[in-house]
Every structure is written in structure tokens, then in C-alpha cells.
């Protein structure tokens, strides 16, 4: 049976939709944004983290693991799992865990009493649509249990998959990043045409949605991109748009994956206000998430 | 015998009494950082003491302490509330306290009513009650002759022979009896179900102001009233609650008390709100607003879970539905029980160390052998506590006896088991440490064989000196008490069940039962006394607070964990999930409300919240002057951060950091 590869389940999520939500992060993404706050969700395979602070090994070896040493452990960071058993210190650990749809359903439904009237589950990632095969039966189970389902997508997925997902969803977050056709592909692999198709299907589907715009200079916060976004907004019927400043949240995770640090330029309140103003002018209903 | 008489003789000397009371007064004074010399304390205090051989010594000493006490009251208050900190009773044995009296006896009733009640019997308690009532009446006359306020005079004079006419009178009478209890050396005095007691009085426009003034009066003598730490006064107001008919009780006073305390922003008195899944949502909204101010209260106590357990414990249906609490949250039957609920601590972690140093540990072939050894040691530990319980002697207590059902009927003082219920309660420390240690030993000593038993013993003995890898290995394990983890839940459950089973075979001196709970104010004190433990904790480090687990996903993890535990009739002495929350997390109050409602519906026993900002606490520790009003939740009480000893401050700072990082 196909399983879902889950990197994290956040059980008191307050920024991922109506009410209190349980957010499930699915691994694997069709994009590779350089600023990604969840770099562990990019690869579709399970990987190892390596947290050097937890390691007690030295070059020669480890007191608790005869086949490992600090150097060996460093080399495991970001590698696909399968080549190492386990580290008792938790210094080398697996990024994600496999769940059958039934297992994941049980994990999610535990929180049901805490969702109140509006809350529910939000699938995020990574790109949840990539795991559509096991995700659809799970969403069906949740639907039958009357759970409110939201998912967050980058929209860079086959239109037919996207439409199938929409049928089970109560709410959609569609990320909006750099949508300048000449730039997007090179930046993170986004197929802008496909994105626009999915967006138009979404807006025609009747499923309520919100566009999510992370502001990162110069990737998404540049006049060319903001112009395009505003044009896109104008084609829609007063869409909800959420904007927020992107922080260097992924840095510790990048370190554990053996990746280089990213540098993110600071976004000021003035930047946020400016973008908010432009989007409003274009007809969007804008919500600015405060810093922190 | 001769020796004992000598001791009595020495204790009865004026010099000894002054010495003892002076020392006590001085220690209380120093809590407030107002240094007073012993000489000054010695000459200032006025002790009241009678030899036990003297007839009616227990009533006489009350009379004497009244005669000694100055009756100065705060002239700005609409109420009369006077407490002379320098006038005190000298006691030898333990003093009953840590419980509310049934104040409805003196709001809806009167001293005449109590006299009539006493006259129905003809025994020692009849005579004791009548004498005491006379002393109280004389005290009323003394006060009335000294004050000019007609309204207060009417409220107090009326106490002699008629019910309180209105809210003002009811509150004034409660304050009067409350001050008498404090003045006579009782501690940790809860207020009981005040909204219920006041239900018969109309809440007019003046009500809010009166309740505020009432709480300000209770808050006076804050340091004098404090027990182990400044703030630990036990002045709990219990609000709301399920009724026998299945309805939820609340009234205008339920809301007003919560509202007034949040407005006053005082750490004391404190509020416990009895909650239920059928309660009106707007009450929870008011509670949430109060919690969000950082006040640390109300503490939420889940009637849906607790009331059935109290009936299993042995309370009548009526008493179970009418439960109040001891100084923090330990449930008790109000008005008819001795219920001394905070007597000793079960030391779960120390018991584990006892098991590890037992020779049978070395020969243990499997984890289950160790677990059996642990449970055997735990039973021995409980038996030792039971022996200690048997030695506790209570001072005769005419005041509590007067207000407690069962004493007249049985002809016995409350201290001799005269009440309808005469049960005890225990606290506990170090359970998280114990469970985390057992998990580590299972994995690393028995299953994976990474640590030899001898190495484990040596590394604990040396306080991890020379074994830094072990310290890391043990503390980095993410499988923990307080997390949604099968092994942690199962071990915790087995420990709870063992204690319950052992306690079920014990009766105290009065034939009463003894219950226990998973919480204690002593998580720091006992930590200081306990050696290094196999959870990476070093010798002297504090234990975890109640049922808590800070870090990633903690808010839901810890309630999933707590709801996985089954508490029974003897493990219901307060089981509080204690969560640290960053201010940003509860900015959206609607969502926080959903969470709280979820806690209630999923059967969390009790829960309290500390809204802490790491940055602010660090700054407050360095610059106390900047934060005179910063209040934090410490145990079953809130306190000013600045009043706390450094180790309590550090524990809160550490917890705030973990909550912020979201990492274990």
C-alpha cells in the first residue's frame, strides 16, 4: 500500500486556516525555492538529519555506535535513508516517517476535540499534491468523519491532480511566489502557465481560497513580480491574499541537512505596507501576518 | 514522664513563648525583606499560650490572642479587616488549615443558629462551641465599640442573631471570620465556593466595587499570610460547578470575581474555576481573558472527571458535587471534613535511586525485573509515609470544630476525628524524572546494552563527573513523560496504580483514607535533596513541575499524555497539567478558547497556564525594578516574579526558553 511520508505534525497551528488546526507536513516538492523555510520537505525521499550538538562521536568513533564516527555522521546529513541503522543520541535521525492513510488518520483525529467549530486539518509541505495517491483515501476518511480539510499548494502540479484534490478540500492556500515567466523557472522550477491554469480552476471551483505571498527580497519582492501579481489579482474576484515577511527560519534545518546557510535580506514594515497597498489597489483583501 | 513535664514547663515560660513567636515573626518579616532584629521581634510579639493541663486551654488561647491583638484596620476600605501580625498563638503540634470553612453558616446563618445547633446535643463539643461563640460575640462587641461605621457595625452585630441582609453584610462577615482564623494561627485558608454562597444576595451596582474591596482586604498581609514562598497564601476562591441535577451552576458573581481579579491584577487571592463540557461558553471566555493577562488563574478544574472520582473516594453525592479545594487544587468536601491534603511528598525519583542502589538491580536480567524492584521499593516508601502519617498530632481546634459538621454529632473535636470525613492527602515530586529515567534504562541498559549497570551506578554516584556522554545520552532521549508516547503513559500508569493499591490498604488514625496527586510545591526543594538521576538530571537540579512537558507540540502532547492516564478514587488529590505558553500563541483568543474547551471535553483533570516571555523574564531577573507588577504562576498560586527565590526564577526562565524554541 502507498504510504504518506510525513516530516512533521504540528498540533496547535494558528496560522494555517480557520480555527485551531493540525498541520501535516508532507515531504517532497516540485519547487526548490532558495529561501525555503522547510528545506527538509523538498526531497521526495526520506533523509537523515545530523545535529552536531547532539553527537558525542569523535573522528575515531562513537562510544555508543561501533560503526559510526563524527565524520561518518557528518557525511550522513541530507543523505537518503537506508544506509544507517540508528543513533542512540538522536544526533543522526530520520527527517520523516511513513504512515499508511489509516495510521495518519488516527494521528490526526486525536486532535478532533480541540478544533472547535472551525478548525481541522491542513496539509502542507513540501507539495502535498505530490502524494495524492495515498492522500485521497485519507482525505476521504477525514471527509466522512466531517473534518474540515485545507491544503497548501504551490500550484506547480498536474491540473488533473489538482482538480481531484479540490473535490475533497474545504479550503486551499495557494502560494504565490515569483510568477515572472522568464525568471520563475530558473529560480525555483515553477511553470507559470501551469500555475495560472490551476489558479483559474481553483477560482472557478467555488472552493474558498487564499493566496499566500512570502516576501523575500529580491526573489518575490521586486517591482516586476509585484506588478505581475497585481495583474493576476485583478483577474480574480477580490481574492484573499496573505502576506508576510520571510525569516531565515530554515537555517538550523539547512545545517542539519548539510546545506549552506541562506542569506535573507530584512523586510521592513514599510515594505509590507507598500505591498499591502498595491495589492489592495488591485482589489485584493489583504491580511498581513505580523512578524514573529 | 518527668521529662515531658519539664518540657511542658519550659514551654509554658513567658521567655520561651516570646522566643518562639519572636523567631516566627522574624522569619515572616524577612520574607518581605524588611529586616528586623531578633531583639526587636522578641519584644514586639505577644504570644498566647496555655498549658494543656489547663481546662479549656484551646478556647482560652483564642480569647487571649483576641485580647492581645490590636484592632487597627485599613480606614480606606469599606470593610473592617484587621490582623495583628505580632499577636499569635503558640502551638506545639500541627495546626489544622489548608482548607476553607463553610462560610454559608455565617452568611445565611448566624451565631444564634450555631448556638441552637449546639444545644441539640449535650457533650464536650456543645460546651466548647458555646464558649467559643461567646468569645466571638465579645470580640464583635469590642470591634463595634471602636468603630464609627454604622454599616460595618450592623453587619457584625447582626451576625449574632440573623442572616446577612445583603452582599455587603455577607462579605463583611466572611472577612470577619477569615481574620479570626488567620489571627489564631491557621494557614492556607481557602474561601470556598463564594459565588454559590453569595447567590442569595442581589448583585446591585455596588457589587463590583464591593468584590474588589473584598479581594483587596484579603490581599492585605500578603507576606504574613504566605507559607513556603511569598504568594503561597492558599486564598483560593472556588467558582462555578456542576450540580447534582446535571446543570452547571454559575451566577453574576462567578463572572464578577474573575473580572474584578483580572482588573485588580493581583497575584492573590486566586481563583479556581470548576469547569464542565456543559458550562456556558461566555464564562470560559472571561476565564481565558484573565489567563491571557498572565495572572496564572483561574486554574480550571474539570468537574466531569473529578466528581465521579470523589464519589468513588467515598464522598456522598451531595458532598462530591459541592467540592472545594485545599490551598491549591486538592479536592475536598467543604464544611464537614478534616481533609488535610498536603501532608507529605511521595518522592518518585528518590525511590528509583533506592532501587538502583539495591543489590537486586545488578542481578536484574530484564527491564521488568527492575520495574518490579521499583514497585516493591515504592510500596515500602508509601508504607514509611503511612508510618509518618500515624505520628501526626493535631492541635485542638475549636474554631474549625465550630464550623465543621459531624463534630457536634460525634462529640469530638475536628482534631480528634470528629468531622464527617477525616481523610488525608499526599503530594508527589519527581515523577517525570522517574519515568524518563526508567525509559532510558529500558532502552540503553537492557534493550540496547549501551550502558552497563555498574557504569550507570558509578555515573550517578559521581554526578556524571567523568561520564559526560551518559549525561547527553540520557537527556537527549525524546521519548518522555508528558509526551504522547505509549511507554511513558504505560509506566506512569503502573506507578499511579501501585501507589493507589498500596494506599487503599491504609487507614489513618481516624479510619480515614489517604489520596495522592501528581503535583507538589516542592519540585525545587526535593530536587535539591535528590542525587543525580538517569534522565541526565544532575544532583540538586529541580524536578519538573506537576504534569508538564515543554517544547515542541507541548500544548497538545501533554494533554494527550494526561488523558491517556486513568486516575482513580485515591489518585485524585489534584493532577494539574501545567503549560507554559508564549504570549504570541494566545494572541488569538478564540483559538485558545477552542483549545481549553478541547481540554475539558477530552477529560483533562485540571489545568493551569503560565504566559511567559523568555526575553521579559531574563530582563526581569536582571532589572527587577522595571517589573514591579510581573506576576507568574508558581505552584497552585501566583506570585510576583520579583518575590521569588533565584532557583524558582531560573526554572521559569528555562521553561519559557523551551516553549519558545519549541525544542526538547
3-state secondary structure at position B485: coil
Rounded-to-integer distance, Cα B23 and Cα B18, Å? 8
Q: A138-152, A278-292, B580-594: which has the highest mean pLDDT?
A: A138-152
The pLDDT of residue B30: 56
The string of pLDDT tens digits covering residues A161-179 is 999 999 999 999 999 999 9
Q: Do A111 and B443 touch (CB under 8 A)?
A: no
CA distance B355 to chain A (A): 25
Residues of B with Cβ-Cβ distance to A115 under 8 angstroms: 594, 598
Q: Who's near B267: CB < 8 A, 6+ residues apart?
A: B231, B295, B296, B631, B637, B638, B639, B640
Residue A274 touches partner B, C-beta closer than 8 Å: no
For residue range B624-646, list pLDDT tens digits in order: 999 988 999 988 889 999 989 89
User: Pairing relation of β-strands B331-333 and B323-325?
Assistant: antiparallel
Mean pLDDT throughout A206-235?
95
- Residue A173, by phi and psi: left (phi above 0), alpha (psi -120 to 50) or beta? beta
> CA geometry: angle at A269 spanning A264 and A270, to 5°?
105
Count helices and strands in chain B by DSSP H and E runs: 30, 17
Measured between CB atoms, which of A91, A110, A115 is closest to B594? A115
> What pLDDT shows up at residue B31?
61
pLDDT in tens, B376-404: 999 999 999 999 999 999 999 999 999 99
Q: Is the pLDDT score of B663 beyond 50?
A: no
Give me the pLDDT at residue A44, please.
96
- Contact predicate B377/B354, CB 8 Å: yes
Paired with A152 in beta bridges are A173
Strands (E), B355-431: 424-429
Average pLDDT, chain A: 94
Cα separation, B525 vs B529, in Å, equals 7
Strand partners, A244: A214
For residue B664, pLDDT beyond 60 = no
Q: Is the dihedral of CA A153, A119, A41, B582 positive or negative?
A: positive
Q: What percent of chain B has pLDDT over 70?
A: 98
CA angle, B548 then B550 then B554, to 5°: 90
Whether the pLDDT of residue B520 is over 90: the answer is: no
pLDDT band for B8, please (50, 70, 90 cuts). Answer: confident
**pTM of this structure:** 0.95
| Residue of A210, A197, A140 lying closest to A169 (CA atoms) | A140
Average confidence (pLDDT) over A96-115 = 98
- Which residues, in sequence order, are CB contacts of B495 under 8 Å at separation 6+? B348, B375, B378, B431, B434, B435
Across the interface, whether the CB atoms of B594 and A64 are under 8 A apart is answered: no
Residue range B75-83: mean pLDDT, rounded: 93
Distances in whole angstroms, Cα of residue B340 to Cα of each of B330, B343, B392, B401? 10, 7, 11, 14
Residue-level pLDDT at B636:
83
3-class SS letters over chain A:
CCCEEEEEEEEEECCCCCCCEEEEEECCCCCCCCCCCCHHHCCCCCEEEECHHHCCCCCCCECCECCCCHHHHHHHCCCECCCCCCCCCCCEEECCEEECHHHHHHHHHCCHHHCCCCCEEEEEECCHHHHHHHHHHHHHHHHHCCCEEEEEECCCCCHHHHHHHHHHCCEEEEECCCCCHHHHHHHHCCCHHHHHHHHHHHHHHCCCEEEEEEECCCCCCCHHHHHHHHHHHHHCCCCEEEEEECCCCCHHHHHHCCCCCCCCCCCCHHHHHHHHHHHHHCCCEEEECCCC
Question: Of the spans B35-44, B53-62, B399-408, which averages the highest pLDDT?
Answer: B399-408
The answer to whether the Cβ–Cβ distance between B448 and A88 falls below 8 Å is yes
If we measure between CA atoms, which residue out of B290, B299, B223 comes closest to residue B256? B290
Assess whether pLDDT exceeds 60 at residue A291. Answer: no
Please tell me the predicted confidence (pLDDT) of residue B172: 98
Q: Indicate if the pLDDT at residue A239 is higher than 80.
A: yes
Does the beta-carbon distance from A88 to B443 stay under 8 Å? yes
SS (H, E, C) B85-138: CCEEECCCCECCCCCCCCCHHHHCCCHHHHHHHHHCCCCHHHHHHHHHHHHHHH
pLDDT in tens, B179-215: 999 999 999 999 999 999 999 999 999 999 999 999 9
The predicted pLDDT at position B161 comes to: 97
CA B258, chain centre distance (Å)? 19
3 state DSSP class of B573: coil
Which of A20, A88, A118 faces B473 most closely, judged by CB atoms? Answer: A88
Question: Given A12, A63, A115, which is nearest B469 (Cβ)?
Answer: A63
Helix (H, G, I), strand (E, B) or coil at B574: coil
Closest Cα in chain A, distance from residue B45 (Å): 55
pLDDT band at B545 (very low <50, low <70, confident <90, very high): confident
Is pLDDT at B544 greater than 90 in this prediction? Answer: no
Q: How confident is the model at residue A249 (pLDDT cuts 50, 70, 90)?
A: low
Average pLDDT over residues B17-27: 82
* Whole-number pLDDT of residue B67: 94
Helix/strand/coil for B514:
strand
Rounded CA-CA distance B580/B655 in Å is: 7
φ, ψ of residue B554 in degrees (nearest 5): -60, -40
* Arithmetic mean of pLDDT, A193-206: 97
Q: Name every chain A residue with its beta carbon within 8 A of the beta carbon of B468.
A: 56
Dist. CA A214–CA A244, nearest whole Å: 5
* Number of inter-chain CB pairs under 8 A, A vs B: 70
Residues composing chain A: 292
pLDDT at B33: 56
What structural domains and CATH numbers belong to chain A?
A: 4-44+96-288 (3.20.20.70), 48-92 (no CATH)
* Contact residues, chain B to chain A, C-beta under 8 Å: 443-444, 448, 450, 468-469, 472-473, 476-478, 484, 553, 555-557, 560, 584-585, 588, 590-591, 593-595, 597-599, 601-602
- When pLDDT is cut at 50, 70 and 90, the band that residue B550 belongs to is confident
Q: pLDDT digits over B227-272, tens only? A: 888 889 999 999 999 999 999 999 999 999 999 999 999 999 999 9
CA–CA distance, B483 with B479 (Å, rounded to integer):
7
pLDDT score at B66: 95
* The pLDDT of residue B50 is above 60: yes
What letters, b where the CB count within 10 A reaches 16 and e where it falls short, cover B235-257? Answer: bbbbbbbbeeeeebbbeebbbbb
Cβ-based burial of B527 (10 A; exposed 0-12, middle 13-18, buried ≥19): buried
DSSP-based three-state secondary structure for B235 = coil
**Chain A residues 101-120 with CB within 8 Å of chain B:** 110-111, 113-119
What is residue B227's predicted lDDT score, i.e. its pLDDT? 86
pLDDT band per the 50, 70, 90 thresholds, residue B317: very high
CB-side neighbour CA atoms (13 Å) of B267? 26
Q: Which of B445, B561, B598 to mutate to test the interface with A (most CBs of A within 10 A)?
A: B598
Residue B537 is given by DSSP the state B
- What whole-number distance in Å separates Cα of residue A8 and Cα of residue A24? 6
**Average pLDDT of the residues in B491-497:** 98
CA angle B75, B78, B83 (to 5 degrees): 60
Q: Which of A17, A11, A41, A14 is nearest to A29 (CA)?
A: A41
**Does residue B32 carry a pLDDT above 70?**
no
Q: Does B11 have pLDDT greater than 90?
A: no
Name the residue with higher pLDDT: B437 or A248: B437
pLDDT band at A292 (very low <50, low <70, confident <90, very high): very low
Residues B455 and B464: their CA atoms lie apart, in Å, by 10
* Pairwise CA distance, residues B457 & B437, whole Å: 13
Whether residues B594 and A63 touch (CB distance < 8 A) is answered with no
Helix (H) or strand (E) holding B47, with range, is strand B46-48
**Cα separation of B441 and B364, whole Å?**
12
Amino acid at each position: 500500500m502507498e504510504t504518506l511520508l510525513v516530516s512533521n505534525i504540528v498540533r496547535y497551528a494558528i496560522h494555517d486556516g480557520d480555527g485551531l488546526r493540525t498541520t501535516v507536513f508532507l515531504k517532497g516538492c516540485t519547487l526548490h525555492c532558495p529561501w525555503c523555510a522547510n528545506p527538509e520537505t523538498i526531497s521526495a525521499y526520506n533523509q537523515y538529519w545530523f545535529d552536531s550538538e547532539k553527537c558525542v562521536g569523535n573522528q575515531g568513533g562513537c562510544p555508543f555506535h561501533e560503526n559510526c564516527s563524527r565524520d561518518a555522521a557528518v557525511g550522513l546529513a541530507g543523505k537518503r535513508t537506508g544506509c544507517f541503522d540508528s543513533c542512540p543520541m538522536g544526533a543522526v535521525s530520520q527527517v520523516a516517517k511513513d504512515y499508511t492513510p489509516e495510521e495518519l488518520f488516527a494521528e490526526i483525529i486525536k486532535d478532533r476535540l480541540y478544533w472547535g467549530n472551525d478548525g481541522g486539518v491542513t496539509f502542507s509541505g513540501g507539495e502535498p499534491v505530490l502524494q495524492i495517491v495515498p492522500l485521497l483515501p485519507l482525505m476521504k476518511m477525514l471527509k466522512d468523519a466531517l473534518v474540515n480539510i485545507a491544503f497548501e499548494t504551490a500550484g506547480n502540479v498536474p491540473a488533473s491532480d489538482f482538480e481531484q484534490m479540490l473535490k475533497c478540500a474545504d479550503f486551499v492556500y495557494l502560494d504565490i511566489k515569483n510568477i515572472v515567466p522568464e525568471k520563475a523557472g530558473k529560480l525555483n522550477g515553477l511553470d507559470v502557465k501551469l500555475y495560472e491554469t490551476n489558479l483559474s480552476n481553483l477560482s472557478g471551483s467555488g472552493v474558498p481560497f487564499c493566496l499566500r505571498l512570502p516576501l523575500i527580497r529580491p526573489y518575490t519582492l521586486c517591482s516586476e513580480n509585484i506588478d505581475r501579481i497585481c495583474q493576476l489579482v485583478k483577474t480574480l474576484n477580490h481574492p484573499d491574499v496573505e502576506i508576510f515577511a520571510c525569516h531565515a527560519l530554515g537555517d538550523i534545518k539547512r545545517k542539519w541537512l548539510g546545506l549552506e546557510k541562506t542569506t535573507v535580506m530584512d523586510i521592513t514594515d514599510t515594505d509590507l505596507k507598500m505591498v499591502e497597498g498595491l495589492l489592495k489597489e488591485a482589489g485584493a483583501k489583504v491580511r498581513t501576518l505580523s512578524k514573529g | 514522664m518527668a521529662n515531658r513535664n519539664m518540657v511542658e514547663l519550659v514551654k509554658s515560660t513567658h521567655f520561651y513563648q516570646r522566643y518562639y513567636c519572636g523567631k516566627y515573626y522574624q522569619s515572616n518579616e524577612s520574607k518581605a525583606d524588611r529586616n528586623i532584629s531578633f531583639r526587636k521581634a522578641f519584644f514586639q510579639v505577644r504570644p498566647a499560650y496555655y498549658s494543656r493541663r489547663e481546662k479549656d486551654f484551646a478556647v482560652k488561647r483564642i480569647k487571649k490572642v483576641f485580647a492581645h491583638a490590636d484592632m487597627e484596620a485599613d480606614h480606606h476600605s469599606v470593610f473592617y479587616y484587621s490582623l495583628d501580625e505580632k499577636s499569635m498563638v503558640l502551638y506545639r503540634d500541627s495546626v489544622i488549615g489548608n482548607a476553607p470553612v463553610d462560610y454559608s453558616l455565617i452568611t445565611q446563618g448566624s451565631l444564634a443558629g450555631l448556638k441552637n445547633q449546639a444545644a441539640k446535643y449535650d457533650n464536650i463539643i456543645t460546651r466548647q462551641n458555646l464558649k467559643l461563640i461567646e468569645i466571638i460575640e465579645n470580640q464583635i462587641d469590642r470591634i463595634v465599640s471602636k468603630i464609627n461605621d454604622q454599616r460595618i457595625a450592623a453587619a457584625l452585630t447582626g451576625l449574632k442573631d440573623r442572616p446577612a441582609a445583603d452582599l455587603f453584610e455577607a462579605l463583611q462577615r466572611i472577612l470577619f471570620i477569615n481574620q479570626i482564623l488567620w489571627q489564631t494561627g491557621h494557614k492556607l485558608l481557602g474561601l470556598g465556593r463564594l459565588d454559590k454562597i453569595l447567590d442569595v444576595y442581589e448583585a446591585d451596582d455596588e457589587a463590583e466595587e464591593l468584590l474588589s474591596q473584598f479581594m483587596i482586604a484579603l490581599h492585605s498581609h500578603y507576606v504574613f499570610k504566605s507559607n513556603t514562598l511569598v504568594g503561597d497564601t492558599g486564598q483560593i476562591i472556588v467558582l462555578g460547578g456542576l450540580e447534582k441535577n446535571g446543570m452547571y451552576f454559575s451566577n453574576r458573581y462567578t463572572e464578577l470575581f474573575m473580572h474584578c481579579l483580572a482588573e485588580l491584577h493581583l497575584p492573590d487571592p486566586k481563583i479556581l474555576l470548576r469547569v464542565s463540557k456543559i458550562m456556558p461558553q461566555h464564562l470560559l471566555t472571561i476565564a481565558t481573558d484573565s489567563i491571557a493577562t498572565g495572572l496564572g488563574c483561574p486554574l480550571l478544574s474539570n468537574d466531569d472527571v473529578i466528581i465521579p472520582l470523589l464519589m468513588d473516594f467515598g464522598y456522598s453525592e451531595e458532598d462530591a458535587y459541592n467540592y472545594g479545594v485545599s490551598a491549591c487544587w486538592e479536592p475536598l468536601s467543604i464544611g464537614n471534613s478534616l481533609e488535610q491534603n498536603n501532608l507529605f511528598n511521595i518522592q518518585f525519583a528518590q525511590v528509583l535511586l533506592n532501587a538502583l542502589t539495591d543489590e537486586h538491580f545488578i542481578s536484574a536480567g530484564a527491564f521488568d525485573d527492575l520495574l518490579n524492584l521499583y514497585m516493591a521499593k515504592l510500596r515500602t516508601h508509601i508504607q514509611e509515609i503511612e508510618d509518618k502519617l500515624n505520628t501526626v498530632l493535631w492541635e485542638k481546634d475549636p474554631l474549625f470544630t465550630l464550623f465543621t459538621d459531624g463534630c457536634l454529632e460525634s462529640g469530638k473535636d475536628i482534631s480528634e476525628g470528629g468531622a464527617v470525613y477525616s481523610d488525608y492527602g499526599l503530594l508527589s515530586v519527581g515523577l517525570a524524572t522517574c519515568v524518563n529515567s526508567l525509559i532510558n534504562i529500558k532502552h540503553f541498559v537492557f534493550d540496547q546494552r549501551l550502558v552497563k549497570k555498574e557504569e550507570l551506578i558509578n555515573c550517578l554516584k559521581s554526578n556524571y563527573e567523568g561520564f559526560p556522554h551518559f549525561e547527553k545520552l540520557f537527556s537527549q532521549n525524546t521519548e518522555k513523560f508528558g509526551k504522547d508516547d505509549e511507554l511513558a503513559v504505560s509506566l506512569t500508569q503502573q506507578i499511579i496504580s501501585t501507589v493507589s493499591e498500596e494506599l487503599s490498604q491504609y487507614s489513618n488514625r481516624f479510619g480515614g483514607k489517604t489520596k495522592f496527586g501528581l503535583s507538589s510545591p516542592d519540585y525545587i526543594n526535593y530536587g535539591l535533596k535528590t542525587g543525580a538521576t538517569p534522565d541526565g538530571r544532575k544532583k540538586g537540579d529541580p524536578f519538573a513541575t506537576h504534569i508538564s512537558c515543554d517544547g515542541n507540540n507541548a500544548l497538545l502532547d501533554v494533554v494527550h499524555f494526561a488523558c491517556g492516564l486513568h486516575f482513580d478514587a485515591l489518585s485524585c488529590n489534584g493532577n494539574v497539567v501545567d503549560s507554559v505558553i508564549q504570549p504570541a500563541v494566545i494572541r488569538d483568543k478564540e483559538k485558545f478558547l477552542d483549545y481549553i474547551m478541547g481540554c475539558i471535553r477530552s477529560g483533562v483533570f485540571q489545568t493551569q497556564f503560565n504566559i511567559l516571555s523568555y526575553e521579559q523574564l531574563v530582563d526581569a531577573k536582571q532589572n527587577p525594578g522595571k517589573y514591579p507588577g510581573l506576576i507568574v504562576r508558581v505552584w497552585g498560586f501566583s506570585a510576583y516574579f520579583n518575590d521569588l527565590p533565584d532557583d524558582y526564577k531560573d526554572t521559569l526562565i528555562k521553561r519559557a526558553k523551551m516553549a519558545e524554541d519549541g525544542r526538547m
